[in-house]
């Protein structure tokens, strides 16, 4: 539900948009970039099943034209280095899915996260990251879900520490957690 009257603040070099499932975090993040004639969408989603394929279609339809799209289900760090440019802000949607992809592919998750954190301060252009907040429920029954929750929470903390602006989105509305001004 992007409003035509929404006037986004100037982009910080690095922004993190946190939110729950169906919180409107992606739509909010897209609006931050909507006035930039050139903008690139770094998609971490892969259409592995029908449910995910439907989500990807839903997101594409909402974004509409005006976005270049590059897929980066695993090599997010490489793509960030290659694609970030001062004249073209990037939207990374989302870090939590990237983490999930790394775990499924049995990559060295901690090393990949270190690589991301090391790369952030040197990126050549503005980047908006979207991530899920997943730690506000009951402790999950199974150990894998607990480990995922731990990884996701620590990733969010570390990325938030590198970003100049961090917002938490609920019901489509932002709560400011950190602000450059």
Is residue 51 a contact residue for its own copies (CB under 8 A)? yes
DSSP codes joined into one string, 25-77: HHHHHHHHHTT-SS-EEEE-----SHHHHHHHHHHHHHH-SS-EEEE-SS-HH
Respond yes or no: is residue 59 known to be catalytic: yes
Is residue 16 a contact residue for its own copies (CB under 8 A)? yes
Is residue 140 a contact residue for its own copies (CB under 8 A)? yes
Is residue 153 a contact residue for its own copies (CB under 8 A)? yes
Least CB distance from residue 65 to its own copies, whole Å? 23
- Sign of the dihedral defined by the CA atoms of residues 64, 67, 70, 72, in that order: negative
Is residue 109 a contact residue for its own copies (CB under 8 A)? no
CA dist 84 and 48 (Å) reads 27
Is residue 78 a contact residue for its own copies (CB under 8 A)? no
Of 36-44, 62-70, 71-79, 165-173, the segment contacting its own copies by CB under 8 A is 165-173
Instruction: Tell which one of 60, 62, 173, 180 touches its own copies (CB under 8 A).
Output: 173
Q: CB-wise, 78 or 153, nearer to its own copies?
A: 153
**Structure-block tokens of residue 86:** 């001062």
| Residue pair 176/8 in contact by the 8 Å Cβ criterion | no
Least CB distance from residue 35 to its own copies, whole Å? 21
CA dist 97 and 100 (Å) reads 5
Show which residues are catalytic: 59
């Amino acid at each position: 539900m992007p409003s035509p009257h929404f006037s986004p603040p100037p982009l910080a070099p690095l922004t993190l948009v946190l939110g729950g499932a169906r919180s409107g975090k992606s739509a909010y993040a897209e609006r931050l970039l909507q006035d930039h004639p050139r903008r690139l969408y770094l998609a971490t989603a892969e259409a592995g099943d029908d449910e995910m394929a439907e989500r990807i279609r839903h997101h594409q339809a909402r974004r509409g034209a005006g976005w270049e799209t590059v897929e980066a289900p695993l090599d997010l760090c490489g793509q960030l280095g290659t694609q970030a440019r001062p004249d073209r802000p990037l939207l990374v949607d989302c870090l939590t899915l990237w983490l999930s992809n790394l775990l499924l592919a049995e990559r060295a998750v901690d090393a990949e996260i270190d690589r991301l954190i090391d790369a952030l301060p040197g990126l050549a252009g503005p980047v908006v990251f979207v991530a899920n907040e997943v730690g506000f429920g009951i402790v999950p029954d199974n150990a894998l879900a607990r480990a995922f929750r731990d990884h996701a929470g620590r990733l969010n903390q570390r990325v938030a520490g590198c970003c100049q602006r961090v917002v938490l989105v609920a019901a489509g509305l932002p709560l400011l957690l950190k602000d450059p001004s």
